[in-house]
Structure 1
């Protein structure tokens, strides 16, 4: 009998962090479409509390408004350190 090796699942925070570290922005709709995450604002809040410098902006497209999130460019370029020393576990 062979057993399938299961890879550990990433948490929503880990998934969003990886997306942002890849230099991409993300909206609530993209989070749902790409990762089936319905609570992006809460996960962004969690990541910010752990020190990740996430910027945001309200964007309007075709009369619809939504928030777009991305990592601070200084952080991406290595010029900015995390806001807190609590990035462990994310």
Structure 2
């Protein structure tokens, strides 16, 4: 782990733009890559099995769901690391 963890707001933005990237930035690469992998699998599976008349979001709902779960998880982990470093533990 680096001496100064990244700003949790930066991690939040990265996690919101790229699935799993927030975790990678804070040093939890395997967790981030897992989220990215399951986001892609979720996009693919729901696109494959959704009805043709479903909206774009509906056709990719599982991927969006996994992505949405990863955003607060990355932010919370970054916030905890940032506070630990600030307090000096």
- Structure 1 length normalisation: TM-score? 0.26
Name the one with the larger helix percent: 2
Name the one with the larger strand percent: 1
- Structure 2 length normalisation: TM-score? 0.26
